[in-house]
Amino acid sequence: MSALQTTRIVLAARPHGEPVAADFRTETVAVAEPAPGQVSLRTVYLSLDPYMRGRMSDAKSYAAPIQVGDVMVGATVSQVIDSRDPSVKPGDHVLGYTGWQTHAVADASAVRVLDTSRAPLSASLGVLGMPGFTGYAGLLKIGRPVSGETVAVAAASGPVGSAVGQIARIHGARAVGIAGGPEKCAFLRDELGFDAAVDHRAPDFADRLREAAPDGIDVYFENVGGPVTAAVLPLLNTYARMPVCGLVSQYNATAVPAGPDRLPGFLSAVLTKSLTVRGFIQAEFVAEMHADFRHDMATWIAEGKVRYREDVVDGLENAPSAFLGMLRGENFGKVVVQVAPAAL
Amino acid sequence: MSALQTTRIVLAARPHGEPVAADFRTETVAVAEPAPGQVSLRTVYLSLDPYMRGRMSDAKSYAAPIQVGDVMVGATVSQVIDSRDPSVKPGDHVLGYTGWQTHAVADASAVRVLDTSRAPLSASLGVLGMPGFTGYAGLLKIGRPVSGETVAVAAASGPVGSAVGQIARIHGARAVGIAGGPEKCAFLRDELGFDAAVDHRAPDFADRLREAAPDGIDVYFENVGGPVTAAVLPLLNTYARMPVCGLVSQYNATAVPAGPDRLPGFLSAVLTKSLTVRGFIQAEFVAEMHADFRHDMATWIAEGKVRYREDVVDGLENAPSAFLGMLRGENFGKVVVQVAPAAL
């Protein structure tokens, strides 16, 4: 049997501003045999998520940057080819973090065997995975909506935002979704049951948002920044909470933006409205909440209380362009790359 | 006996930017006789505090603005002239909120009789009053320093900042005070026991602050905004807390400041460091914590663990200029106006 090879996409250069195709490079290399305690894997699905943009830069952040020449990071669903650990069997499907490549070797302790009878494999990368948990933990630990309050969230048709809005409704809050374009807004209202949906591309966006939140906003789940934040700020109520899990609108910025300086006004709002602004990474809450999350979310999906949409991209070679499109908001639902069929 | 008169300072005009003398007007008017349940009062001390600047404007905030023609608001220590309520006796000293005037009539339920044996009367306006409680509640409820952490506070020789730094030390934290000028910095180190003090007017302020916080900053008690905040931000550690009780550096702003726009960078810091930024008004915590505060602070003062400094201004007629000086940081310690002798 010939040695296993992997085709992988590596970081060719650190992007300056919006990443371009030349920042990625595809290469094919041999994969080592699994050592004792390891498994060899065939990637089925690769998750694309906005945080990856941060990892491409070398600015200090909560996670170390990807080095130039390294494979792009990312969560994956894979099928086990070979296993040298008793906890994992060949043919199993596992959740791992093997990145933008077709094959990999990983420690068995770094993967989790998936129960394929409970949910589609790809859901482990979205509604039942890191993005869904980000929405769940940030909303419930920091946002803490109570019945009758209003929760606003941007990128609302994406995997984090759609979880936030639907969980808000489960807790009795009014869910206001913000998304780009009428199609996504209709989806939020008609498919996900949001109380209101507002198109941030509309010229009268700020007015529409105000109409959609007649009692103000008690929780703004921040994942975009930029003009959406500016429109939300005047609507925040006293004691409003603002979990900050992402700022996708500014990830490609190359310089400190021109004025006016909006920080003093932001801090004034924090002061005069007794706001709580709290950045977080979902990992902070895994030990405390992930078991509850898996139980709750699986229950809600089974009951039809949480629905989700995926934007499936075919083929690893299309990952870079799909990633760039996602940073521009061109995706519609959770972006997953189908790298190979689920079973051979 | 002739009818009681009060000399009072009213808001003559809403300031545009930094208040000027013409924004205040002095007038003398008759004071009504106390009705049943009321007391008539002779002001001894008037407290001057930065929040008053906000009340002079009609921008929406946590408290209603002063109307043009109304007496300037403020906490006061007064002696009771006449009482028509059994809970208060003539000659008692009371804490009230009768504003910038020499005499007033107030509901007995709106004043609190002071125990003059426990602390100087004026302390009820500072270390044992609203400013001290602001520092106590904001630090302990929001800042939550633990032993070994670093707490930084600006306006550190003022009544809020001096409470914050000293309480931080009582809880085992390192206290870094920021103040304007070498005299105040020496006071912080030598009199109040701060671990370090940094002059924000020094040209190398940011470098000095970094040296003063070699392990970074875990709690930044925000009461000034502006360049101090900018210097603190890069030093904040992961999970740092930022109680926001004031922004005195920007109270006189007349327009949105010129760029660059520092809000995206601020939100990036919130995200990548998992910061907590929380605005608050001390009133939020009164029911929960004020009894503990009075007990703790009186104990700490008696034990010498909390010290304080007052900047006593003589005569109500000097209140406007003292107030303007305070907004510029010219005071040294808690500003109180001695309106009349404590006892006649």
pLDDT tens for chain B, 344 residues: list them.
457 999 999 999 999 999 999 999 999 999 999 999 999 999 999 999 999 999 999 887 778 899 999 999 999 999 999 999 999 999 999 999 999 999 999 999 999 999 888 789 999 999 999 999 999 999 999 999 999 999 999 999 999 999 999 999 999 999 999 999 999 999 999 999 999 999 999 999 999 999 999 999 999 999 999 999 999 999 999 999 999 998 888 887 877 888 789 999 999 999 999 999 999 999 999 999 999 999 999 999 999 999 999 999 999 999 999 999 999 989 999 999 999 999 87
The residues facing B279 across adjacent strands are B244
Of A244, A258, A274, the CB nearest to B281: A274
A168 sits in which H/E element: helix A159-170
For residue B336, list its beta bridge partners.
B47, B312
User: How far apart, in whole angstroms, are the C-alpha atoms of residue B167 and residue B300?
Assistant: 9
Q: Does B5 touch chain A (CB under 8 A)?
A: no
Tokens 């005299």 sit on residue = B183
CA distance B71 to B244: 28
Bridge partners (DSSP) listed for residue B220: B152
In one letter, which amino acid is A315?
G
| CA pair distance A55, B79, nearest whole angstrom | 65
Window B:196-255, CB contacts with A under 8 Å: 222, 225-226, 229, 238, 244-247, 250, 253
Q: What is the ipTM of this complex?
A: 0.92
- Strand bridging mode B174-179 / A174-179: unpaired
pLDDT at res. A60: 75
Residue of A nearest to B61 (CA): A272
Residues facing residue B10 across a β-bridge: B25, B71
- Which residues lie below 8 Å from residue A186, measured CB to CB, with a gap of 6+? A197
Shortest CA distance from A265: residue in chain B: B256
- CA B328 – CA B17 distance, rounded (Å): 12
Which amino acid is located at B111 in the chain? V
For B160-174, give the DSSP string.
HHHHHHHHHHHTT-E
How far is CA A46 from each of CA A57, A65, A270, A333, rounded to the nearest angstrom? Answer: 21, 19, 39, 15
User: Who among B245, B258, B268 is closest to A261 (CB)?
Assistant: B258
Q: Answer whether residue A192 shows pLDDT above 90.
A: yes
**pLDDT at residue number B82:** 96
Is the pLDDT confidence value at A343 over 80? yes
Q: What is the CA radius of gyration of chain B?
A: 21
Mutate to test the interface with A, among B242, B272, B285 (most CBs of A within 10 A): B272
pLDDT of A344 > 60? The answer is yes
Is the per-residue pLDDT at A284 higher than 60? yes
Instruction: At A10, give phi and psi (nearest 5°).
Output: -110, 160
Instruction: State the DSSP H helix or E strand holding residue B311, giving kind and residue range, or none if neither.
Output: strand B310-314
Residue A1 has pLDDT above 70, yes or no: no
Model confidence at A2, in pLDDT bands (50, 70, 90)?
low
- Asked whether the beta carbons of residue A264 and residue B226 sit closer than 8 angstroms, the reply is yes
pLDDT at A254 over 90: no
Give the DSSP per-residue string, A294-317.
Answer: HHHHHHHHHHTS----EEEEESGG
The pLDDT assigned to B234 comes to 97
Which chain B residues have a beta carbon less than 8 Å from that of A262? 256, 261-263
Cα–Cα distance measured from residue A311 to residue B14, given in angstroms and rounded to the nearest whole number: 56
Nearest-CB residue to B271 (from A60, A246, A269): A246
| A50 cis-preceded (ω within 30 degrees of 0) | no
Structural contact between residues A43 and A104, judged by C-beta atoms closer than 8 angstroms: yes
Residue A286 has pLDDT above 90, yes or no: yes
**% residues pLDDT > 90 (chain A):** 89
Residue A216 DSSP SS3: coil
Domains within chain A, CATH numbers bracketed = 5-126+309-338 (3.90.180.10), 133-285+294-299 (3.40.50.720)
pLDDT class of A163 with cuts at 50, 70, 90: very high
- Determine the pLDDT at residue A248: 83
Structure confidence at residue A132 (pLDDT): 97
Neighbour-count burial of B306, counting CB atoms closer than 10 A to its CB (0-12 exposed, 13-18 middle, 19+ buried) = buried
Give residue B3's pLDDT: 79
pLDDT at res. B108: 97
Identify the pLDDT of residue B336. Answer: 97
Please give the average per-residue pLDDT across A93-101, as a whole number. 97
Choose from B134, B277, B286 for mutation: most chain A CBs within 10 A: B277
Q: Are A141 and A219 in contact (CB under 8 A)?
A: no
Q: Return phi, psi of residue B97, to 5°.
A: -140, 60
pLDDT of residue B249: 83
Query: A261, B259: Cβ pair inside 8 Å?
Result: yes
Residues 6 or more apart whose CB falls under 8 angstroms from that of A35 comprise A84, A105
Whether residues A261 and B266 touch (CB distance < 8 A) is answered with no
Mean of the per-residue pLDDT values of chain A: 95
pLDDT mean over A117-130: 92
